[in-house]
Structure 1
Amino acid sequence: MNDRCKNKNKLKKKNTIKNRNTNKRFQFSKLALVALILIGFGLLPAFQRDVAATGVNEEKQSVPLQPIIDQADAGAEIHLETGRYSGPVVITKPLTLIGNTAVTVHNEQEQAAISIQASDVKLEGFRVEHNGRQPAAAVQITGSNSEVAELTIRSKGAGLLLRDAASAVIQDNTIEWAGTSTTPSSQKGNGIDLYNSANSRIEGNKIHGMLDGIYLENSRNTVVNDNRLIRTRYGIHCMYIDGSSVTNNTGEENMTGAMIMGVKNTVVSGNTFRKQSTNVHSQGILLYDVHRSKVQNNTIEGNRVGMNIAESSGNEIQDNGLIRNFVGIQMVLAEGNQFMQNRFISNVIDASAMDSKDNILKENYWDSFQGLDLNQDGISELSYAINPFYEQLVSRNAAYQLFFQSPGMVFLSELHSEGKNKWTSDESPQMSIENTELSGTPGTDGTNVKTRSSLVWVIGLLLLGLSTSTMIYMGVWRK
């Protein structure tokens, strides 16, 4: 009897456990089914689409970034938390890497800190400290449709290198040389360097102290807009970028502001290049082997040579302000170019031409020219032939620069008329600066020019009165 009761209790307990297991399996199946349904509707991630990564491990050391990249799925968006991450890193799948100014990726090796080998990769918002030497770069891109935005890069090599990387967007980055200020140019890399990377956009970047600020070669249909280039060799260096535009950029204290070489059908407009005078070959804009392009509405101020045009033809050079340069425009083997409505103000030498012909100068303003306007249309009936006397004189003895625009120098210049029929001439010069468009030329509007001119006259009269009073006083005192 007791044995039967015991067996009965055992059987009852066994059935209870079985039922519980069945219920658990049923509940798990329901949960799995619900999860699959949610995944199907995109309410739960089937793969890693949004990944958070921390840059400090338990030992408070920087964290290797490569494992974080490797663990993320293609298309993931990785958010880097505050901290330091170590490179180098190779990205071989599309993804987005986002940080902030308190996130730093540093690299001490002689290879790119971040190498992007896949298409559709985006980097945004963090710092990169690259201590690898030239030619290694902080970021190297070989994939198309990449975007690099709002990075702060300090590099002892190059900044951003793009090779066969079409349709890139390089926007709002700061790139600085991280080595010593005495490092020779041969050991530096370029700030942004594109080769064979067409249809790209480079916009809103600030580049300081690199070899060339922005270097483009064989990268057609490229937009270079609103960048600031400071203390580089060439602020913008373009070679074979047909159908491109260089617009609204600012260059200061570079050896050359913009070196445009071997291009066609390109627009150079709205740029400001100041204080390019550190070298005997310094210039605001150099056009070399440039054809059928437009150079317009640029401000070129305080350079050794404002604009140098060599072996170039068929270009429209219009509405530029050439201010306080040693030479305003210099032409060498330049043919068939049009110079219209430009403003030449306070240049030591307005323009010079060597072995150049069939260039048309029309309706430019020359502050050193006194014309004659009989019909009051703002255009002089007298042409302005650019006298090469002063340029020839200072080329023989630079000390004569001290006598720039002195009465004696002006008198001697007017006596020099040898070969005048071959001088570069503006057949219809503007009589007044008010007759030209002045947008994009700070400090050169008619009101300011008049104000400065009046101020010069007032100061001159005061000095004259002071000197006269002194002579009278000294004469009376001696008596």
Structure 2
Amino acid sequence: MKNKIYVGILLCLFFLFLHSTHSFAEQNLQSLINQAKPGEVVHLEGKVYKGPIIITEPITLIGTKKTIIQAAGNKPVVSLQGKGIHLRGVKVQQLTSRKKVPALSVTGSNHSVKDLHIKTTSLGINLNNVHLSKLSNITIKGNKKENGINVLNSSKNEIKHSLVSHVLDGIYIENSNSNTFTQNTIQNSRYGFHLMFSNNLVLYRNISKENYIGAMIMETYKSTIKGNSFIYNAQNVNSYGLLLFDTAETKVIKNDFSNNRIGIKLQSSQHNTITNNSAKTNFIGIQFDDASFNRVSTNTFLSNVNDVQAIASKKNNINKNYWDSSWKVDAKNQGTSIIPYKADPFFLSLTKETPEYQIFFQSPGMSLLQKMLKSPDDLVLSDDFPLMHTDEESRNMDSHSTRGVLLISIAMILISTLSIQIWRKTK
């Protein structure tokens, strides 16, 4: 009997020892962080660490390829708070079943986060009141239930060279001014970029593909969208490469809008500039809905089912674009056609009232009705000087022309030299 009692006591002590050791292991990383002095570099081993952890001092935390920090509760796996914290080379796994719990939570300023691999069942990264910070080379994979990166009430940050996939919105920005997003790839999500109530943003050389919408820009002012690829966003009847909604004074320059349902849509937007973009093989190249005073110039619309549609849109400056479906007659040899390109809003007005009429798109009967029931001239979108050639064709022609001039010049020099030699011999 006594032996059984001793065995029981030993077993209890053994399990208590295991529990205390396990608890120590879980607290070990936080203890290591707490012991670090400001400016110190903490190197992590290539093993699994249990979170959550909170960093409040300006230290540098560096992992290896096998370093994993994971948690499954209702708190962020990793939290950065304060100023000047650097996080490098860590895999972060958020295993919670709760909503809106980020793998990485950041507040404060002057942080840098680099070379992170995040796998999350909830939110990826949440930036709230973050300023003057940089995030780069980050991979985020979700389960399409929460956003990849939230940028809230934050300014003057840069997010670059990152890959975000299988999330709700790739990068969601709200009330955040003067942020820059460079060379990120967002795919297989709802919205690639979702920008709201923010000004002076820069989207440069990003790729947003195979999403519901490539980029939704809403109530955003004085921003620049340049050199991006918004491609293969055609998963739904309402899919767009780029949607500008209630947006003003924004520049859209040298972007690729290809293989979307609608390449570019301007809705309730004014005073925007759309130049030197390429919209190819979309169902609709560009669509205007209650959009006015926008400048659309030197863009290429090629191989779209319908190059342009417009409704309730007046006083837009549409000039010198290449329209695949325009009549091209260059009587003055100026590179532009003397026949204006016009888009009547009749069909779009009809389908807006009765969406079922979309099945009659480009049918002979609808074309006849459109000719019989023409819209007022002030509602018809018109490019008075459509381009004869695409930019690429023009460059090739210029190149051929330059070569031709060069060859002619060389020939003239040779002929002149030969003539002089012959004249001298005859003398």
TM-score, with normalisation over the residues of structure 1? 0.73
Given candidates 378, 381, 405, the residue that maps to 2:338 is 381
Match of 1:99 in 2: 63
Match of 2:106 in 1: 141
For the Cα contact (< 8 Å) 1:62–1:84, is it kept in 2?
A: no
SS at match of 2:109: coil
Match of 1:433 in 2: 390
Deviation at 1:396, TM superposition (A): 4.4
Cα displacement string for residues 112-167 of structure 1 (whole angstroms, at most 9, x for unaligned residues): 00111121101111101111232110110112111111100001111111111111
For the Cα contact (< 8 Å) 2:168–2:189, is it kept in 1?
A: yes
Given candidates 50, 73, 76, the residue that maps to 2:37 is 73
Deviation at 1:302, TM superposition (A): 1.3
Match of 2:177 in 1: 220
Match of 1:115 in 2: 79
Match of 1:155 in 2: 120
Deviation at 1:353, TM superposition (A): 1.4
Classify 1:380/1:99 alpha carbon distance in 2 versus 1 (closer, same or farther; 3 Å). same
For the Cα contact (< 8 Å) 1:315–1:336, is it kept in 2?
A: yes
Work out whether 1:319 is the aligned partner of 2:276. Answer: yes
Match of 1:273 in 2: 230
Deviation at 1:413, TM superposition (A): 8.3
For the Cα contact (< 8 Å) 1:64–1:87, is it kept in 2?
A: no
Work out whether 1:89 is the aligned partner of 2:45. Answer: no
Map 1:366-377 → 2, pairs under 5 A? 366-377=323-334
Match of 1:240 in 2: 197
SS at match of 1:174: strand
Larger radius of gyration: 1
Match of 2:424 in 1: none
Q: Following the alignment from structure 1 to structure 2, what is the Cα–Cα distance between the partners of residues 165 and 301?
A: 34
Match of 2:132 in 1: 167
Classify 1:417/1:372 alpha carbon distance in 2 versus 1 (closer, same or farther; 3 Å). farther
Cα displacement string for residues 205-233 of structure 1 (whole angstroms, at most 9, x for unaligned residues): 10001111011111111001110001111
SS at match of 1:81: coil
Gapped runs of 5+ residues in structure 1? Answer: 1-56, 180-184, 439-444, 447-479
Q: Following the alignment from structure 1 to structure 2, what is the Cα–Cα distance between the partners of residues 346 and 211?
A: 31
Deviation at 1:388, TM superposition (A): 4.4
Instruction: State the superposition RMSD in angstroms.
Output: 2.6
Match of 1:441 in 2: none
Question: Does 418-427 or 270-279 show the bigger shift?
Answer: 418-427
For the Cα contact (< 8 Å) 1:349–1:390, is it kept in 2?
A: no
Work out whether 1:334 is the aligned partner of 2:291. Answer: yes
Match of 1:196 in 2: 153
Match of 1:126 in 2: 90
Deviation at 1:370, TM superposition (A): 1.8
Given candidates 344, 352, 375, the residue that maps to 1:419 is 375
Q: Following the alignment from structure 1 to structure 2, what is the Cα–Cα distance between the partners of residues 351 and 197?
A: 37
Report the residue type matching 2:266 in the other structure. Answer: I
SS at match of 2:45: strand
Deviation at 1:326, TM superposition (A): 1.4
Gapped runs of 5+ residues in structure 2? Answer: 1-20, 398-427
Question: Does 352-361 or 419-428 show the bigger shift?
Answer: 419-428
SS at match of 1:151: strand
Work out whether 1:346 is the aligned partner of 2:303. Answer: yes
Given candidates 259, 270, 286, the residue that maps to 1:302 is 259
Q: Following the alignment from structure 1 to structure 2, what is the Cα–Cα distance between the partners of residues 287 and 351?
A: 16
For the Cα contact (< 8 Å) 1:63–1:84, is it kept in 2?
A: no
Q: Following the alignment from structure 2 to structure 1, what is the Cα–Cα distance between the partners of residues 160 and 181?
A: 6
Q: Percent identity?
A: 32
Deviation at 1:247, TM superposition (A): 1.1
TM-score, with normalisation over the residues of structure 2? 0.81
Q: Following the alignment from structure 2 to structure 1, what is the Cα–Cα distance between the partners of residues 52 and 391?
A: 58
Report the residue type matching 2:287 in the other structure. Answer: Q
Aligned length: 372
Q: Following the alignment from structure 1 to structure 2, what is the Cα–Cα distance between the partners of residues 353 and 154?
A: 42
For the Cα contact (< 8 Å) 1:142–1:164, is it kept in 2?
A: yes
Q: Following the alignment from structure 1 to structure 2, what is the Cα–Cα distance between the partners of residues 311 and 393?
A: 19
For the Cα contact (< 8 Å) 2:311–2:345, is it kept in 1?
A: no
Deviation at 1:410, TM superposition (A): 10
Classify 1:154/1:380 alpha carbon distance in 2 versus 1 (closer, same or farther; 3 Å). same
For the Cα contact (< 8 Å) 1:319–1:437, is it kept in 2?
A: no
Q: Following the alignment from structure 2 to structure 1, what is the Cα–Cα distance between the partners of residues 244 and 394?
A: 23
Match of 1:464 in 2: none
Q: Following the alignment from structure 2 to structure 1, what is the Cα–Cα distance between the partners of residues 367 and 313?
A: 27
Q: Following the alignment from structure 1 to structure 2, what is the Cα–Cα distance between the partners of residues 411 and 161?
A: 51
Q: Following the alignment from structure 2 to structure 1, what is the Cα–Cα distance between the partners of residues 166 and 394?
A: 34
Classify 1:437/1:288 alpha carbon distance in 2 versus 1 (closer, same or farther; 3 Å). farther
For the Cα contact (< 8 Å) 2:248–2:272, is it kept in 1?
A: yes
Deviation at 1:323, TM superposition (A): 1.0
For the Cα contact (< 8 Å) 1:326–1:348, is it kept in 2?
A: yes
More strand by share: 2
